[in-house]
């Protein structure tokens, strides 16, 4: 049975994802993304499950930054989970009694419509996580009347869900990833994704265009690009890329090797099956067989046999 | 005398920036970036000052998202401010007594070295802002012994700085912007920046490469690019761009008009002097005079006179 | 009635094209392409008809080079004419008697199959043109037994066509152009072509890619590109371009103005209806209305009204 | 001793090049470029020397087309030879007596200034080659008084050079190539050139841009590009490329393999030392060592060891 660290405390969406998708795993809650990843790095856990991006909030920057530095970890899987917020109260509290609400600012943003409509006079206070908000409300002396949290947090902290699925959009999803210490890669499935981090050699104008050209020329589609600061001043960035295909694919390998030649450093973050199972669209001339045929042809030419 | 909304409460870096740079302005603290921008939109304030990005934390995504939606606002100025954290305590507290520290998670990250070194046993709790942390510590019944906050917060909340400039990096800066309701643009200075948001018509592979090509072909350098989720599911993004030059520059205007033709929507966020005063590098053939000469030539050709 | 110079002598394909397409024009045969163009430049003729390219032989380089230098001329029309060769003999000559054939080397190349099959022992001698070959054979003392020439040459020089349409390919065509002194351009028809010559500022690697990008970014398709030596040593070229659309089209105008800014010199060679009447494919966002809308939008932004 | 076919008859510039550069080779004059190449293909000769391009006239299209089709041949060397024309006459003829001049049209073009200045009343007749013109004048009954030909033709046909180096430009050069049947390639020298022919899969807009991108992304500079008609109608082309570097170079090999995947067919025409001995400029990240290092890195990643 594997042991997986996750972004805690108990009751986070991250735990919900983990329970749903790896129900048999032992779960190790960690205080933040960095701690969860370190647990995987150190061997305290076999791996870690952390959020990577949210369809409303965007990238989870701590995850991006923690994966870009420190000892390497590989993404080995991804899941897309709907984000559903509940309004959690101590048993007995009624809607009309709610004056002070606590939740994470992102949840506040995503439930703004509900709050204005149903809790017009309530004050909303920021917590460090939606699960921490529930934990806070669970205390009998808490100055807060309700928490906006995942339903799962209600179970842990013995709170009642006075309302469910109160987000302004019903289609919000979070993308979670599972990471492990580097090891043998999983086999390509035809519906894979590869994640990378690229550090520019020098940050000249046109550098991003050059990086994108490495992918475009080999027919590799990017599905996500994020710029992140290097820390060396405003205007200095490194880049996270998600792309279609597996590093074992010829076109992906050549593109990534090209990126490696272009950059100061490229960190491979893994090739893994896509959560949506959409097969990679392969542009004419860029299938593995096309690369193999071209390589044979080149070998013959170089040997003077063509 | 102008009145400027800012990201409060009193004692934030944002207020420090505002006090330093527009010392005569009346200051209106707001609970969050959205509230500050709305104050400017509604006329409650003449403008607003908010953070846009930080050299360590990256983009302030609320600012990006608030500027991309809602009634338009124009960036009219930018400033780069060093980020210097102080360890603030109630008068009389000594370093050895500090067991519980409160601060914003970003500040926690940036002061991790100091905390490990000087406060090895302390617990660090998350606040919604560094100024709110100071406000919290100021309360005599506070369960917290110290706040990591800007020095300015000490003044407001009558706290003592037991240590100054405790960030792990001494060169961290935040870029603040001033925004106003749309109006007459400032004149080009030769060292300007232009900010934009672009929403793709459809999110096909290569769309970003096409957008970058609009800039590259006109010799316009990008200084920042951020992808943000549209909210319509993982994998759907819009883009923030900062570019060198003023919208009044011929090459910038043509590039931005090209982007407008390529996209579903482009929102202009302003042209304004760069904080670093670095003059725009103009590639051969892309100065205003080159565009004017080419336009004259084209007019003659179309009239059959060349 | 207009007077048109053409590539003579009488009996050339060029004359055949002219007679077919402007039957009422007075015809002025000229010794070579340069002389025909000079007749148009000098006012000796109202215009000139010359070949530009052939589907088997390629570009007529004299035409390219003469149009790139000297006083400017504008292409005002183009025609595609099938190339059909006849085997012309003095009346009474029979196939078996043909031992010495004269023709232009290009015609020789294009009729190689017929000659090997039907005239296996014959010697083929080069003439300066296919019409000159017919003229030569017409002389009773000619050492040549037959000419490979256009059928029309037989009429002029009183020769019999012992075989017709003897080219190895039945689909060979030549593209002829009509040129005039610069004047008011014809109106766009929606199925136009524009011709240009571009001289690079400096011949750096990537210069051609940059030129093509000017067209690609504005959605302008190239239909022909020819490199020609500048005369300043091997490796120094200038370029002829044919592109879809009319210089009056917004996207063509902007692309050509962009090329002008990029290059040392661009010579406009005319916008004129395509012989094949194929309407220009207009990529989304690049119609005149799109450019006009983008220009309006930009004007509003620059005026601070958006 | 090797036997080399060349573009005859005796007395051509091609023979001059061959005599100068391979003085010991046995020489086989051929009637045209195709015949010379066929002699090499058939084994009648060990190789052939033919002109490829001229700094004033441009590409020798027969050479381009003959190399693109038929049994493959490899270019194994190139030379740049100055083109110097002489005015050749039968012994005893004086300048004032010259009324009828014969030469190849290209030579006529290149000596136009001399003819206008020194032979203002003379008629110039076209010959199939400059050497054939000399041969013609050598006949006592010739109707021509002088030939414009290479000096070497005077030796063969016992003519006197009444004037030398009469071209309008003193710097005209022709690039000659030596071709052989395919065999072991010569070793890279660091100053090599590679020649190719590429046939597009389909002639869509942007196809040329795609081909050039294959080279640009690998840092391979093109030194010559020629479009040639496929024969399948106006607007259908194939392309000749000369590029810097040797097919054994990693960046050249990858670019050419990429072109192969993109195209219907690519014909390799050889890698050989440049006549000008200019070493290849290698862009950062594209040296063989960079490719090797990137390949090692990729191998490790794919094996799960990085």
* D235 has a pLDDT exceeding 90: no
Together in a domain, B202 and B275: yes
Predicted ipTM of the assembly = 0.94
* D21 has a pLDDT exceeding 90: no
Which residue's structure tokens are 């969860």? A36
Together in a domain, C155 and C298: no
* D32 has a pLDDT exceeding 90: no
Helix axis angle for A207-217 and A250-262, nearest 10°, is: 160
Would you give the DSSP letter of residue B273?
Answer: E
Binary contact (B228, A173; C-beta < 8 A):
no
Per-residue pLDDT of B113-122, as tens digits, reads: 999 999 998 9
The structural domain count of chain D equals: 3
Which residue among the candidates A176, A215, A238, A241 is catalytic per the annotation? A176
Which residue among the candidates C12, C76, C130, C174 is catalytic per the annotation? C174
Closest in A32, A80, A132 to B234, CB measured: A80
The last residue of a domain, from among D183, D210, D231 = D183
Chain A nearest-CA residue for B168 = A231
Which chain A residues are within 8 Å of B227, Cβ to Cβ?
58, 224-227
Band of pLDDT at residue C202, cut at 50, 70 and 90: confident
In the structure, do chain A and chain C come into contact, i.e. share 3 or more CB pairs under 8 Å?
no
On the 0-12 / 13-18 / 19+ scale of CB atoms within 10 A, D75 is: buried
Torsion of CA A15, A20, A25, A28, to 10 degrees: 0
Quote the minimal CA–CA distance from D278 to chain A in Å.
22
3-class SS at C216?
Answer: helix
Which chain D residues are within 8 Å of A185, Cβ to Cβ?
302, 304
Mean pLDDT of D137-164: 95
Binary contact (B61, A56; C-beta < 8 A):
no
Binary contact (D290, A261; C-beta < 8 A):
yes
Binary contact (B302, C248; C-beta < 8 A):
yes
Together in a domain, A135 and A283: no
The residues pairing with B263 across neighbouring beta strands, listed in sequence order, are B200
Size of interface A-B (CB pairs under 8 A): 101
Chain A nearest-CA residue for B214 = A209
| Residue of B231, B244, B280 to mutate for A, most A C-beta atoms under 10 A | B231
Closest in A213, A295, A304 to D185, CB measured: A304
Which residue's structure tokens are 């490329």? D241
CA distances from C145 to A58, C112, C135, C158, D143 (A): 84, 17, 12, 14, 20
Together in a domain, A143 and A199: no
Quote the minimal CA–CA distance from D227 to chain C in Å.
6
Which chain A residues are within 8 Å of D218, Cβ to Cβ?
258
3-class SS at A11?
Answer: coil
Which residue among the candidates A76, A174, A280, A286 is catalytic per the annotation? A174
- Residue C86's pLDDT is 96
3-state secondary structure D107-162: HHHHCHHHHHHHCCCCEEEECCCHHHHHHHHHCCCCCCCEEEEEHHHHHHHCCEEE
Chain A nearest-CA residue for D289 = A261
Quote the minimal CA–CA distance from A289 to chain D in Å.
10
Chain A partners (3+ C-beta pairs within 8 A): B, D
Which is more confident, C32 or D150? D150
Closest in D62, D223, D234 to C235, CB measured: D223
The last residue of a domain, from among A130, A164, A198 = A164
Which residue among the candidates D12, D13, D63, D176 is catalytic per the annotation? D176
Closest in D80, D126, D232 to C234, CB measured: D80
Together in a domain, C8 and C61: yes
Closest in A183, A214, A290 to D304, CB measured: A183
* C201 has a pLDDT exceeding 90: no
Band of pLDDT at residue C234, cut at 50, 70 and 90: confident
Which chain B residues are within 8 Å of C74, Cβ to Cβ?
304
The last residue of a domain, from among D183, D218, D233 = D183
In the structure, do chain C and chain B come into contact, i.e. share 3 or more CB pairs under 8 Å?
yes
On the 0-12 / 13-18 / 19+ scale of CB atoms within 10 A, B255 is: buried
Quote the minimal CA–CA distance from D183 to chain A in Å.
5
Residue C3 lies in a domain: yes
Which chain C residues are within 8 Å of B297, Cβ to Cβ?
257, 260
How many Cα atoms sit within 13 Å of A178 on the Cβ side? 22
Mean pLDDT of B256-281: 97
∠ at Cα D251 (D249, D256), nearest 5°? 95
Binary contact (B258, C218; C-beta < 8 A):
yes
Mean pLDDT of B78-93: 95
Per-residue pLDDT of D257-283, as tens digits, reads: 999 999 999 999 999 999 999 999 999
Which chain A residues are within 8 Å of D214, Cβ to Cβ?
217
* Total residues belonging to chain D: 306
CATH number at residue C260: 3.30.70.260
- Residue B106's pLDDT is 84
CATH number at residue C8: 3.40.190.10
Question: Is D174 marked active-site?
Answer: yes
Binary contact (C261, B298; C-beta < 8 A):
no
- Residue C204's pLDDT is 78
- Residue B129's pLDDT is 84
Per-residue pLDDT of C115-157, as tens digits, reads: 999 999 899 988 878 999 999 999 999 999 999 999 999 999 9
Which residue's structure tokens are 């406009």? C268
Which residue's structure tokens are 């290849």? D280
Quote the minimal CA–CA distance from C299 to chain D in Å.
32
Together in a domain, C120 and C269: no
pLDDT in tens, chain A (306 residues): 799 999 999 999 999 999 988 999 999 999 889 999 999 999 999 999 999 999 998 999 999 999 999 999 999 999 999 999 999 999 999 999 999 999 988 899 899 999 999 999 899 988 878 999 999 999 999 999 999 999 999 999 999 999 999 999 989 999 999 999 999 999 999 999 999 999 998 877 789 999 999 999 999 999 999 999 998 888 889 999 999 999 999 999 999 999 999 999 999 999 999 999 999 999 999 999 999 999 999 999 999 987
Closest in C257, C285, C301 to B298, CB measured: C257
- Residue B224's pLDDT is 93
- Residue A235's pLDDT is 85
Which chain C residues are within 8 Å of D229, Cβ to Cβ?
53-58
∠ at Cα B259 (B256, B263), nearest 5°? 140
- Domain range enclosing A49: 1-83+171-183
Residue C168 lies in a domain: no
Binary contact (B294, C185; C-beta < 8 A):
no
Relative to beta strand D263-273, strand D192-200 is antiparallel
Closest in A74, A247, A293 to D302, CB measured: A247
CA distances from D147 to C32, C142, D119, D151, D171 (A): 20, 22, 12, 11, 21
- Residue B75's pLDDT is 98
Alpha helix segments (H runs only) across chain B: 13-21, 33-42, 61-68, 105-110, 112-118, 130-138, 151-157, 207-217, 250-262, 288-302
Size of interface A-D (CB pairs under 8 A): 89
∠ at Cα D17 (D15, D21), nearest 5°? 120
Binary contact (A258, D302; C-beta < 8 A):
no
- Residue C105's pLDDT is 80
- Residue C305's pLDDT is 85
User: Measured in whole angstroms, how far is the alpha carbon of residue B89 from the centre of its chain?
Assistant: 29
Together in a domain, B34 and B179: yes
Chain B nearest-CA residue for A283 = B205
Together in a domain, D55 and D104: no
Together in a domain, A191 and A178: no
In the structure, do chain A and chain B come into contact, i.e. share 3 or more CB pairs under 8 Å?
yes
Binary contact (A216, B237; C-beta < 8 A):
no
Per-residue pLDDT of C75-113, as tens digits, reads: 999 999 999 999 999 999 999 999 999 998 889 989 999
Chain D partners (3+ C-beta pairs within 8 A): A, C
Together in a domain, A44 and A179: yes
Closest in B72, B217, B302 to C258, CB measured: B217
Mean pLDDT of B235-261: 96
- Cα–Cα distance for residue pair C286/C253, rounded to 1 Å: 12
- Residue B279's pLDDT is 96
Closest in C109, C169, C208 to D212, CB measured: C208
Mean pLDDT of D200-228: 92
Quote the minimal CA–CA distance from D282 to chain A in Å.
13
Binary contact (C218, B183; C-beta < 8 A):
no
Mean pLDDT of B296-306: 93
Mean pLDDT is lowest, of A25-29, C102-106, D34-38, D81-85, for C102-106
CB atoms inside a 10 Å sphere around CB A217? 23
Together in a domain, A179 and A189: no
Binary contact (C208, D225; C-beta < 8 A):
yes
Catalytic residues of B: 174, 176
Which chain C residues are within 8 Å of B293, Cβ to Cβ?
261
Alpha helix segments (H runs only) across B126-224: 130-138, 151-157, 207-217
Together in a domain, B191 and B260: yes
Alpha helix segments (H runs only) across C98-249: 105-110, 112-118, 130-138, 151-157, 207-217
Binary contact (C224, D209; C-beta < 8 A):
no
- Residue B21's pLDDT is 87
């Amino acid at each position: 049975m594997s042991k997986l660290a996750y972004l805690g405390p108990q009751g986070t969406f991250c735990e919900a994802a983990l329970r749903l998708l790896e129900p048999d795993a032992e779960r190790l809650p960690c205080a933040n993304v960095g701690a969860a990843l370190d647990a995987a790095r150190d061997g305290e856990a076999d791996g870690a499950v952390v959020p990577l991006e949210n369809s409303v909030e965007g990238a989870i920057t701590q995850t991006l930054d923690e994966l870009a530095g420190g000892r390497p970890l590989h993404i080995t899987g991804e899941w897309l989970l709907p984000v559903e917020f509940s309004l959690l109260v101590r048993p007995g509290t009624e809607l009309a009694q709610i004056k002070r609400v606590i939740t994470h600012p992102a949840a506040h943003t995503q439930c703004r419509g509900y709050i204005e409509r149903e809790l017009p006079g309530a004050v909303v206070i920021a917590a460090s996580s939606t699960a921490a908000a529930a934990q806070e409300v669970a205390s009998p002396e808490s100055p807060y009347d309700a928490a906006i949290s995942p339903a799962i947090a209600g179970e842990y902290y013995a709170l009642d869900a006075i309302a469910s699925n109160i987000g302004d959009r019903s289609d919000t999803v979070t993308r979670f990833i599972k990471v492990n210490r580097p090891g043998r890669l999983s086999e390509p499935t035809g519906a894979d994704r590869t994640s990378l981090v690229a550090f520019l050699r020098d940050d000249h104008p046109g550098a991003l265009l050059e990086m994108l050209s490495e992918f475009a020329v080999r027919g590799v589609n990017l599905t996500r690009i994020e710029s992140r600061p290097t820390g060396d001043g405003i205007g200095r960035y490194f880049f996270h890329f998600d792309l279609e295909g597996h590093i074992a694919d010829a076109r992906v390998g050549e593109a990534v090797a090209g990126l490696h030649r272009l950059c100061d450093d490229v960190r491979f973050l893994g090739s893994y099956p896509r959560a949506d199972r959409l097969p990679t669209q392969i542009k004419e001339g860029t299938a593995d067989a096309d690369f193999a045929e071209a390589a044979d042809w080149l070998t013959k030419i170089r040997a003077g046999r063509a």
